[in-house]
Amino acid sequence: MKKIFDLKHFIEELNKNCALTEIRKFKKNEIITTYLLKRNQMCILLKGEAYLARYDKEGNRRIIYYFKENDIFGEAFYKIHTNRELFVVAKKDCEVLLLPYDIIENCNKDCTFHITLLKNLPDLILHRVSEINYRTELLANKSIKEKLLSYLYNLSIENNNKTFEIPISLSELADYLVIDRTAMMKQFRKLQDKKIILKKKNKITIIDKDILE
């Protein structure tokens, strides 16, 4: 995600002017927040990576979204349809800005931080919506091959290169694409045998240019 505003200045203003927000650090695999309980807060990921996951009755994990630097998340952005908890977990060590939804109206002074936040919040939210729309389109593909090629195509576009690394583990990728990991690995081998891609661990090179057109 591109830097929407001067994040360094944003944090400086936060520390000087606002007592309503909190910056917290989380270690890898630590739970950042959950969605079932209403906390009246939203979060901005300042550093690191995280993911939103749900566990079924058997304890199997399903990764729903990944969050990168500057992404915004919280229960307000995800409608709950189950009584099973959703967790936002730190994929790497993270630094997260926690702020209440009603931060602007409860501020006791004309805070430069809040003006900056109010000005840029729509862009942050629109980015979150675009990410959700991307994954919806990705999962609309019916076959494992279509899902994989669509995902790899988008990574190539994001990196502006035919050679790139998958930023998550292959097990996490299978969770993210809602496919069986063994079946996914078989499809990777087929794509290599047909010389559509070259794969070395998580490093991918797209050989068949047709999927980029």
The pLDDT assigned to 94 comes to 95
Show Cβ contacts of residue 99 under 8 Å, excluding neighbours closer than 6 positions.
20, 21, 22, 41, 42, 43, 44, 117
pLDDT per residue as tens digits for the range 48-96: 999 998 887 777 788 888 888 878 888 777 766 555 678 999 999 999 9
pLDDT per residue as tens digits for the range 89-115: 999 999 998 877 666 556 655 566 666
Ramachandran bin of 204, using left for φ above 0, alpha for ψ from -120 to 50, beta for the remaining angles: beta
- Distance from C-alpha of 68 to C-alpha of 168, rounded to nearest angstrom: 12
For the chain, give the percent of residues with pLDDT over 90: 33
Mean pLDDT, rounded, for 25-38 = 88
The pLDDT assigned to 198 comes to 93
